């Protein structure tokens, strides 16, 4: 059995002494093993093994396959790729195995009886035919069931792990697969590996294809064609598409199915797509092919928008009253709203759903505050959340897609603001607490940074909005689109029945901001080399790619000399690799700002070293700890195994308002954040931004990317690199059109609605609020 156990034949065989760490959800464990034998040059009596295990029993002998690794702090460990229990091959050994703690209620006597009757190959005989146990005289039904169940649970998984390892499928994926198919795994893998592509997230088409080929399956098998279609659709989601046009889908599927033996025709693919459509595994609609989750998300979102806008606002305030109210607010705030701003406030109060857009410094926040104050005056409600007995009674609900954007919204309005995920009570799985059955509390919902919201989240959010809630969407359509599929904000803006107000007049520019001037020049395609002259909040340091890292470190050195807080400076770059990429910039800045020093703890995670004092960014959502993709924090402590009651190594990161404890397997969710990607900076702002722009980035340089980057800077912006690369980049539009059908869905559904007359048309041209005071 051992020969074909694993493509990697390095093994350690030994008895499990005790488990050091165990994560029951992920099945990740670290354990101490007494070595019985190995084919490695390893002479110690014991070894620490780590990996993903279904269940490990103390006292049981296992054969672990994998490799020895040297851990910076813990020394040598064996990283397990696959394993199986060593079934003793002597009668005595087998008897003690069957009477071990693993088999609850089976004593030595019973075990002896089984072995005497079934012989040394008892285990495989039972696994092949569980009924064989009834041949053992005097064996009770419960005992028979215990033995079969225990063997199936342990051996079953191990058997699957060993089998999958032959195809280079690791323990973690094996666990996912086994959770889904249990003992049918191997049978299914042999008969139809393509079903894994449908059922198991992350199981690639190429892997299924490789397995099928090894098993000599036909390449024109409809399941293969189906899996190819699903794979191509899943891949298109990564480019932001909601669907693929049929012709494009056929062409791309044709390419991946291509093989030298047999041509797959478009007709064959079309036939399979129609079958998949019947089974609702894809949706074919108007010549477009969708994955069902995306089709229903788009459909659901469009229907929620229709539901919301078709409900009227109960009592409308007259324009005269509104002007009076806004005039009062202007007096209280000592400011005078511009015409567009006034119009935005008026329109938002009159609309069930309105979109407010505008570049930086045009007063979006000022308008949001104005809307809240005016709403409170009209409805005679307090804007002090503490004056409400129940939190649910507070009429204003503020949310944003990221933690940082929500924090900014809270800081600028003084009102509570949450991430959309938190607002909806997301628990980390696919379900949200808030939905159409249990909708949100409140009367007025404001969602900022809406350009970052993808169609899945938009659908979840909108189904949870009750009919009597007013909604204000705020965003800047010139920024990067959402990371996830769809382009919800720009599709909404295309609909002329949804009221929208766009702010153009820049207020912050009046305070002399070159950043704002630059942002608007990029927006209006009027940026030229003259605008790149240094100013009090802007400088362009010309340098070549190979000098970028040096220039950036020099800027930091200067900042440190001047006593500035380096945490206020954020480097943003578009790419990880390359000489001026995020990885090397981070490395240089870590060496400068937080170098290795005696007494300062550190851990090695793949190619990087995380050290106490490092600025780090979270790379995935970790809702159980309320820490989300893009959150930035600082490593504040590293604990060794024996320094905490959990007996595991831990790393603690302090985020704005909480400390999160990471265990080793989660360290990969962190990365240095001295320099982060522009994509990850969406929704955040920083006092000082350094932006390297060189021609080697050319593949990435686009107008919306550079616009997003420079608008992250609040006080100062330093661009370093090549002026021509920058000027060239801002002229390049994002030509990767996303395939979405929201626009069409909305125009069909809102056909009965009147065209919104007020989109940026100010009716009462010359009336000012003062006329009514």
Ligand X SMILES: Nc1ncnc2c1ncn2[C@@H]1O[C@H](COP(=O)(O)OP(=O)(O)OP(=O)(O)O)[C@@H](O)[C@H]1O
Applying CB under 6 A, the residues found at the interface with ligand X are 335-338, 341, 358, 360-366, 507-508
Q: Is 433 exposed, middle or buried (0-12, 13-18, 19+ CB in 10 A)?
A: exposed
Please check if 110 is assigned to a binding site.
Answer: no
62: nearest Cα among 102, 16, 100: 16
- How far is Cα 436 from Cα 423, in angstroms, rounded to an integer? 14
Closest contact distance (angstroms) between CB of 507 and ligand X is 3
Taking the complex as a whole, the smallest distance from the CB of residue 444 to ligand X amounts, in Å, to 18
318 annotated binding-site participant: no
Minimal distance, residue 512 CB to ligand X, in Å = 12
Does the annotation place 361 within a ligand binding site?
yes
| Closest separation in Å from C-beta 183 to ligand X | 57
| CB of 336 or CB of 724, closer to ligand X | 336
Measured from the Cβ of residue 85, the count of other Cβ atoms closer than 10 Å reads 19
How many beta carbons lie within 10 A of that of residue 319, not counting itself?
14
DSSP structural state of residue 627: B
Q: Are strands 675-677 and 670-672 parallel, antiparallel or unpaired?
A: unpaired
Measured from the CB of residue 361, what is the shortest distance to ligand X in angstroms?
4
Residue among 713, 736, 759 at smallest CA distance from 357:
759
Q: Residue 234 and residue 342: Cα distance in Å, rounded?
A: 45
φ/ψ (deg, to 5) at 184: -85, -5
Question: Closer CB to ligand X, residue 455 or residue 689?
Answer: 689
Least separation in angstroms between residue 515's CB and ligand X is 9
Residue (218 or 336) nearer to ligand X, CB: 336
Work out the number of other CB atoms within 10 angstroms of the CB of residue 11: 22
Cα separation of 430 and 126, whole Å? 39
| Least distance from ligand X to the Cβ atom of residue 501, Å | 12
Contact 66, 79 (CB under 8 A): yes
Quick one: 369 or 434, whose CB is closer to ligand X? 369
Spatial distance between the Cα atoms of 47 and 99, rounded to a whole number of angstroms: 26
Q: Which of 444, 399, 458 is nearest to 746 (CA)?
A: 458
Q: Which CB atom, from 344 or from 675, has the smaller least distance to ligand X?
A: 344
CB of 478 to ligand X, least distance (A): 11
- For residue 598 the two structure tokens come to 């005696």
Please tell me whether 59 is known to bind a ligand.
no
Instruction: Name the residue among 564, 213, 500 with its Cα closest to residue 351.
Output: 500
Q: In this complex, which beta carbon is closest to ligand X, that of residue 340 or of residue 631?
A: 340
Pick the closer one to ligand X by CB: 224 or 408.
408
Contact 323, 349 (CB under 8 A): no
State yes or no: 363 annotated in a binding site. yes
What Rg do the C-alpha atoms of the chain give, in angstroms? 31
Which of residues 251 and 509 has its CB atom nearest to ligand X in the complex? Answer: 509
Bind-site residues for ATP? 361-365
Bind-site residues? 361-365
């Amino acid at each position: 059995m051992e020969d074909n156990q694993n493509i990697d034949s390095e093994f350690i065989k030994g008895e499990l002494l005790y488990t050091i760490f165990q994560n029951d959800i992920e099945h990740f464990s670290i354990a101490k093993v007494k070595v019985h034998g190995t084919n490695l040059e390893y002479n110690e009596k014991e070894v620490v093994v780590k990996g993903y295990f279904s269940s490990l029993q103390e006292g049981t002998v296992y054969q672990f396959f994998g490799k020895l690794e040297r851990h910076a702090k813990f020394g040598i460990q064996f990283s397990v790729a696959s394993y199986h229990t060593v079934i003793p091959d002597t009668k005595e050994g087998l008897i003690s195995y069957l009477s071990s703690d693993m088999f609850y209620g089976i004593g030595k006597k019973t075990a002896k009886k089984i072995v005497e009757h079934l012989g040394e190959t008892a285990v495989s005989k039972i696994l092949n035919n569980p009924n064989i146990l009834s041949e053992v005289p005097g064996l009770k039904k419960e005992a028979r069931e215990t033995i079969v169940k225990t063997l199936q649970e342990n051996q079953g998984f191990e058997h699957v792990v060993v089998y999958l390892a032959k195809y280079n499928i690791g323990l973690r994926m094996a666990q996912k697969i086994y959770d889904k198919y249990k003992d049918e795994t191997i049978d299914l893998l042999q008969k139809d590996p393509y079903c894994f592509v449908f059922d198991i997230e992350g199981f690639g088409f190429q892997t299924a294809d490789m397995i099928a080929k090894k098993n000599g399956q036909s390449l024109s098998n409809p399941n293969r064609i189906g899996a190819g279609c699903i794979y191509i659709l899943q891949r298109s989601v990564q480019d932001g598409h909601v669907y693929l046009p049929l012709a494009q889908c056929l062409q791309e599927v044709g390419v991946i199915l291509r093989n030298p033996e047999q041509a797959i025709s478009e007709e064959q693919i079309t036939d399979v797509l129609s079958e998949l459509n019947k089974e609702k595994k894809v949706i074919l609609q108007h010549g477009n092919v969708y994955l069902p989750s995306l089709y229903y998300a788009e459909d659901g979102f469009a229907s929620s928008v229709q539901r919301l806008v078709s409900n009227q606002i109960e009592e409308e305030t007259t324009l005269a009253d509104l002007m009076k109210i806004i005039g009062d607010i202007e007096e209280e705030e000592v400011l005078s709203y511009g015409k567009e701003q006034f119009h935005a406030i008026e329109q938002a109060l009159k609309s069930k759903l309105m979109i407010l857009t505008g570049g930086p410094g045009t007063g979006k926040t000022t308008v949001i505050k104005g809307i809240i104050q005016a709403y409170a005056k009209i409805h005679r409600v307090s804007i002090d959340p503490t004056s409400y007995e129940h939190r649910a009674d507070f009429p204003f609900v503020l949310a944003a897609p990221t933690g940082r954007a929500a924090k900014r919204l809270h800081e600028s309005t003084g009102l509570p603001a949450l991430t959309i995920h938190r607002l909806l009570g997301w628990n980390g799985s696919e379900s949200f607490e808030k939905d159409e059955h249990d909708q949100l509390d409140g009367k007025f919902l404001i969602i900022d940074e809406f350009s970052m919201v993808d169609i899945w989240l938009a659908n979840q959010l909108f189904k949870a909005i009750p009919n009597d809630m007013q909604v204000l969407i705020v965003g800047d359509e010139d920024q990067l689109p959402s990371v996830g599929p769809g382009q919800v904000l720009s599709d909404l803006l295309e609909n002329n029945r949804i009221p929208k107000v766009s702010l153009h007049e820049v207020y912050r520019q009046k305070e002399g901001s070159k950043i704002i001037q630059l942002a608007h020049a990029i927006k209006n395609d009027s940026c030229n080399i003259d605008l790149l002259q240094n100013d009090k909040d802007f400088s362009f340091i010309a340098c070549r790619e190979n000098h970028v890292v040096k220039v950036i470190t020099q800027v930091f050195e200067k900042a440190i000399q001047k006593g500035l807080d380096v945490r206020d400076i954020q480097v943003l770059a578009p790419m990880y690799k390359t000489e001026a990429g995020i990885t090397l910039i981070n490395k240089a800045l870590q060496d400068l700002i937080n170098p290795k020093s005696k007494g300062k703890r550190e851990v090695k995670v793949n190619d990087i070293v995380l050290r106490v004092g490092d600025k780090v960014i979270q790379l995935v959502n970790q809702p159980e700890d309320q820490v989300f993709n893009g959150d930035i924090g600082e490593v504040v402590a590293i604990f060794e195994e024996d320094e905490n009651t959990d007996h595991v190594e831990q790393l603690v990161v302090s985020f704005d308002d909480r400390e999160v404890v990471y265990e080793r397997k989660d360290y990969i969710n962190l990365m240095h954040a001295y320099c982060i990607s522009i994509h990850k900076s969406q929704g955040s702002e920083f006092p000082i931004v350094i932006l390297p722009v060189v021609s080697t980035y050319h593949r990435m340089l686009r107008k919306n990317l550079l616009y997003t980057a420079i608008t992250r800077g609040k006080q100062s912006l330093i661009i370093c690199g090549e002026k021509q690369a920058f000027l060239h980049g801002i002229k390049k539009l994002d030509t990767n059109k996303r395939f979405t059908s929201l626009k069409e869905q909305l125009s069909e559904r809102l056909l009965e609605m009147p065209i919104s007359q007020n989109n940026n048309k100010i009716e009462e041209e010359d009336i000012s609020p003062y006329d009514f005071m």
